[in-house]
Chains A and B, each alone.
Chain A
Amino acid sequence: MKLIVAIIRPDRLNEVLEALYRAEVRGLTVSRVMGHGGETDRVETYRGTTVKMELQEKVRLEIGVSEPFVGITVNAILASARTGEVGDGKVFVLDVDQVHRIRTGERDEGAVTPASPVMA
């Protein structure tokens, strides 16, 4: 099993969630983060103060998936989060030592849903 961490644009979040739902990926965590991915800085002015906003708002998704789901999940994110402009974000795939489902005590593959992709 793997932990997939994706950093995406906030305005693509709904498209990504929709794509993950269609791919039957269930169970994820979303957080708002600040980051910088090489995009052009935004310039804002407040009275006499002009600032460059170096950090942009991004959204981080964390998804624990079973091995058969790794490719499906990554492809769903890549396709739905892409705008083609600098700053679209990254997807990281990390190895995971253990996973425990708190409610049942299930471990590892049993704790990330589902164990294998359901081919509709």
Chain B
Amino acid sequence: MTQLPLLLALQAAPPAPPPAVVPADTAWMLISTALVLLMTPALAFFYGGLVRSKSSLNTMMMSFAALGIVGVAWALAGYSLAFGDGGASNAWIGGLGNTLLAGVGVEAKGTIPHLVFFAFQGTFAIVTAALISGAVVERMRFGPYLAFIVLWSLLVYAPVAHWVWGGGWLMTRGVLDFAGGTVVHINAGISALVAALVLGPRKDYGRQAILPHNVPFVLLGAGLLWFGWFGFNGGSALASNELAGLAFTNTFLAPMATMVVWILLDYFRTGHATAVGGATGIVVGLVAITPAAGFVSPMGALALGAIAAFPSYLAIVWRSRTRLDDSLDVFAGHGIGGATGALLTGVFALKAWNSAGADGLLAGNPRQLAVQALGVATSLVYAGGMTFVILKLLGLVTVLRAAPRTEGLGMDVSQHGEEAYSSGEGSILVMPDAALSVAPAATLKPQIAAR
């Protein structure tokens, strides 16, 4: 492998002023943006399969809704806060210069159109907010959840993205976060942990078995997440070049190692190689390689993936024995997995593979490990604290949790007026003219069309 050329417009490097839009780069970033967008529906299937059938639609909608509401918030203000020029306070927060997409056109940003860069980053904001939902499923009311993820994307995601990628203070200190181990996964993981603590456990948690209702959905979701993640990590090169190839292949290798180790751990602990375990191993491997994808060698990625299985596996086994109802183990998967990946980036990073990166501990640079730890600690403290404040403030103006009775019935019918698996038996068609009348639904006297 030869030295990578220096002209890469790397996400974690200060943007050089390149002359113009490069068609090949633009083509890859268009594809990458669509790939990362797909990760949110993939997450919906991953999460939706893990919950009980009576709350499966609500769980999936928590992810899907982020595609709408967080995306809109990103266009209106989030992008500007994360990537706009913050002027004198640029170390802390971006400016308001790009709100309502002002100044975001088809001109070059790096080597791609500015609008493509905006859309690509938007898909990250969306999936990060959606990740948190796994900790509050089957009990959080839908309206307050939507309010929470909008506020969170503006007050937590946008500032942290600015610090690491937008020219903020963590970027200037040399924290390596290729595609979002800190910004996305530690951020979402610690926020999920805090949200689970603020909301409290599901009423049935620890009293009865709460089992995944559709394990094939979990496998489908994990597979689609992996597919989308090639855009997440490969696209974070922001170009179609050698670095994208490295990040892509590392994203190919690391989850393989994690899955192998995870299944072995499962086998030795329970006597079975479980499907839910295999799917979880894939996701943890993807999380762990995210900060490292463009900084480590392919063999480093395999080692990193294999090591990353252990902390998350132990955290999941431990968590399920406590009263902490982080229902879908967002903290164990994304918080612990992200922190492991971020720290191991400081161990395995090699300038020989990416001259814009840094050498890690194994290459004789222990300082990089300390810098990585600073990034991890900052994200844990800031995202954890802000999530607590946002949820407590929301709790003052509305009720965050569904009533125990509603929880028992399931969130699908109570929050959405739909069921995931309805036979239609015993349903009576309410004729359109009756449905259009202003009478409240519960007091409708419908014309009975068919029984």
Contact = CB atoms under 8 A, between A and B. Distances in A.
A14 B418 contact: no
Interface string B387-427: 00000000000000000010011000100011100101111
A51 B418 contact: no
Nearest to B432: A48
Contact of A44 (B208, B417, B432, B442): B417
Contact of A52 (B204, B409, B425, B446): B446
Interface in B113-166: none
B418 A44 contact: yes
A53 B426 contact: yes
B441 A11 contact: no
Nearest to A83: B405
Contact of A11 (B409, B417, B419): B409
Interface in A5-44: 9, 11-12, 14, 34, 36, 40-44
| Category for how many chain B residues contact A | 20 to 34
Nearest to A40: B442
Contact of B418 (A9, A34, A45): A45
Given A14-B207, A52-B446, A83-B405, A46 B430 contact: no
Contact of A43 (B207, B424, B426, B442): B442
A96 interface: no
B429 interface: yes
B208 A50 contact: no
Contacts of B207: 14
A96 B427 CA distance: 35
B409 A43 contact: no
A50 B435 contact: yes
A36 B419 contact: no
Interface of B: 204, 207-208, 405, 408-409, 413, 417-419, 422, 424-430, 432, 435, 441-442, 444, 446
19 contacts: A12-B408, A14-B204, A36-B426, A42-B413, A43-B441, A44-B417, A44-B419, A45-B418, A46-B418, A48-B432, A51-B430, A52-B427, A52-B428, A52-B444, A53-B426, A53-B427, A55-B426, A56-B426, A83-B405
